[in-house]
Copies of this chain bind each other. A is one copy, B any other.
Amino acid sequence: MARNSTRPTSRDVARAAGVSQAAVSLVFGDKWRGRVSETTAERVRAAARRLGYRPNLAARNLRLGRTRTVLLVVPALTTEFFGGVYTGAARVAAEHGFGLVLYPSPEGVGPARDPFPSARAALDGVIASSMAAEALTALRGDELPLVMLDSDPQGSPGATTVNLDIAAGMRAVAGHLLGLGHRRFLHLAADVPSWTFEVRARELAAHLGGIPGAELRTARAPLSIEGAVAAARTALTAPGPRPTALVCDDDLLAAGACKAARRLGLRVPEDLSVTGVDDLGLASALEPELTTVRLDAELFGERGMQALLAVLEGRPPAVGDIPVELVVRGSTAPPGAAGNEGGHTP
């Protein structure tokens, strides 16, 4: 069994089946209907099976000039959010015969290094989160169709944008907290340069800043629980009247904020209402469970992939932001709502 270690090619299959290489190609492509008889096709398939033939995809890609494979560029996978985006995008991709590979831009790797030494070999297009901006500079040179997720529609010339209606989410948060009676707000903002966080800040400013008697301060934290703990501690112990509501850009930040509040002896929500964004599993595991803006990550991924497929096929991509939903849970309450607890008002 000194079989040659090199893999069989379509020519080998052709020889074994007694047909031409072209016929094998036709059978393994999918346009052999009316060109090759069913019996011949089956003979080819049998020979291929016998030899263990698998088409050489590098050769196919070279020949076709396209690959039916798409790259999804996301920031570091520190939460399950982008896992959901991937799942949704991959589902739509699979329905259209496309493959999807994921490129998480590594933390702390600068834009200088080429992130895709060779993987780029097989890409028809790219979907990229605006939070992974650094990795994108390396893609500028390739003129691949590009869909940007959560990115400034005006700021990405030549790219299609697909966005969550995060502005509506922040308006809902503002409305919810105002309705509960809060007036002193702290915005715990993600210290990440990304359009989606700019929108959150802008929207909060517009809908809390304009209210008579309302006050909005801002603190910044890196996008991690530990970072949020530190930033929230600093902000909550700052001089002046303490805020009664803490609006966080993200559930991770909210989790850190809750932890910091606990350490400072503040009760959530009696002394401090806290909100997040994302609705991670974390949000409902916390005590109290987190009021948050639920983002449908899978739908986000689906819409992103649909937009890219539209671009690839020359169709106009669908427009319209993806709706989000405010989920009210236990971490928000009227300010000073300790009454039902038994007079713990100092």
Q: A118 → chain B, closest Cβ, in Å?
A: 5
The stretch that binds B, out of A235-243, A252-260, A334-342, is: A252-260
Chain B residues, Cβ within 8 Å of A121: 57-58, 60-61, 67, 69, 121-122
Nearest chain B residue, comparing its CB with the CB of A93? B117
Q: How far is the CA of A97 from the CA of B118 in the complex (A)?
A: 9
Nearest chain B residue, comparing its CB with the CB of A97? B117
- A77 touching B83 by the CB < 8 A rule? yes
**Identical copies in the complex:** 2
Against B, the Cβ 8 Å flags (1 = close, 0 = not) of A58-90 are: 111110000111010000111110110011001
The stretch that binds B, out of A149-157, A206-214, A277-285, is: A277-285
Partner of A58, one of B62, B71, B98, B107: B62
Q: How far is the CA of A52 from the CA of B141 in the complex (A)?
A: 8
Q: How far is the CA of A103 from the CA of B93 in the complex (A)?
A: 13
Partner of A117, one of B69, B119, B141: B69
Is A22's CB within 8 Å of the partner chain B? no
Q: How far is the CA of A57 from the CA of B225 in the complex (A)?
A: 40
Is A218's CB within 8 Å of the partner chain B? no
Q: How far is the CA of A91 from the CA of B282 in the complex (A)?
A: 28
- B98 touching A255 by the CB < 8 A rule? no
Partner of A98, one of B67, B99, B117, B256: B117
Q: How far is the CA of A281 from the CA of B83 in the complex (A)?
A: 16
- A118 touching B282 by the CB < 8 A rule? no
Is A40's CB within 8 Å of the partner chain B? no
